[in-house]
Structures are given as structure tokens and as C-alpha cells.
């Protein structure tokens, strides 16, 4: 399941950088495949919990920022990552994405290379967080 989440995050990072979008034709089939895989492994409750926690956290942020801080593509990608990694590691991935995004955005803002109104694709940071969470001790790649 982790491989599908990693693949989806990597492709989303590319399309977000290239086109400014994370496409439903990527995230929705990935979510369906993760759900089907989770059913065959008796891991559906863990996948649902991860998807709801990760996707829900970004959905709240999407609502608070009225879609200007995080797009719905990011929300769906976070749900896929949460389903693929499960609740604890999905949250680690999303947390790491925010840390990485801050580490990139803050210097750019301070140096006035970007303004607060400029768009900064978030999918590459979600992909980086997914990779980082995958290598956490006890994580998906250590199981």
C-alpha cells in the first residue's frame, strides 16, 4: 500500500509543479485501489482512519483559508497518503510536509523572492513527507 501512496504523491508533485493541479484522475483511482488492497489485508479500518485524519486536517485548512492556502487536490492527496501509510505515519507525513514547506517558503518570503499572494505548490512537500514517514522506525518500510 505504501508503494501506491508514494507513486501517487510523486506523480502529484510533478503535475502540481508543471500544471498547478493535482488531478482527480490520479487521486481517485489511487484511493479506490488503496481501499481494495486494504480490504484484502484486513487493513480497511486503518486505511480509513488515516485517510480521514490526513484528508480531514487539510480539508479544515482548506476551509479556513477559503481554498487559498491548500487546494482540494492537496486534500485528496493527503487522504491517499493517509490511507496508504495509516494513521500515525500519515500524520507524520503531513506534518513533515508542513515543516518542509515552511523551511522553503519562509526564506523566500524573508528575501522577498515571493509574496504571500504567490502560489507555492504543496504536493512536492507532501511527497517529501511521505518519503520521510516511510523511513521512520517502525514505519511502513520497516514492517
In this structure, the chain runs to a length of 143
Contact between residue 82 and residue 53 where contact means Cβ atoms under 8 Å apart: yes
pLDDT of residue 142: 47
Residue-wise pLDDT tens digits, 77-122: 999 999 999 999 999 999 999 999 999 999 999 999 998 888 899 9
Q: Quick one: pLDDT at residue 138?
A: 72
- Rounded to two decimals, the pTM is 0.93
Q: Which long-range contacts (CB under 8 A, 24 or more apart) does 25-30 make?
A: 27/73, 27/76, 27/77, 27/79, 27/80, 28/76, 30/4, 30/5, 30/80
Distance, CA of 124 to CA of 31 (rounded, Å): 19
The Cα–Cα gap between 1 and 5 comes to 6
Amino acid at each position: 500500500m505504501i508503494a501506491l501512496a508514494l507513486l501517487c504523491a510523486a506523480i502529484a508533485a510533478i503535475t502540481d509543479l508543471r500544471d498547478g493541479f493535482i488531478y482527480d484522475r490520479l487521486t481517485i483511482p489511487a484511493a479506490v485501489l488503496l481501499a481494495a488492497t486494504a480490504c484484502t489485508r484486513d487493513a480497511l479500518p486503518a486505511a480509513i482512519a488515516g485517510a480521514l485524519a490526513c484528508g480531514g486536517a487539510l480539508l479544515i485548512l482548506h476551509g479556513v483559508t477559503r481554498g487559498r492556502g491548500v487546494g482540494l487536490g492537496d486534500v485528496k492527496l493527503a487522504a491517499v497518503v493517509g490511507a496508504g501509510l495509516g494513521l500515525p505515519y500519515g500524520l507524520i507525513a503531513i506534518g513533515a510536509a508542513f515543516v518542509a514547506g515552511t523551511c522553503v517558503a519562509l526564506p523566500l518570503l524573508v528575501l522577498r523572492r515571493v509574496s504571500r499572494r504567490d502560489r507555492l505548490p504543496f504536493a512536492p512537500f507532501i511527497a517529501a513527507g511521505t518519503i520521510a514517514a516511510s523511513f521512520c522506525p517502525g514505519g511502513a518500510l520497516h514492517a
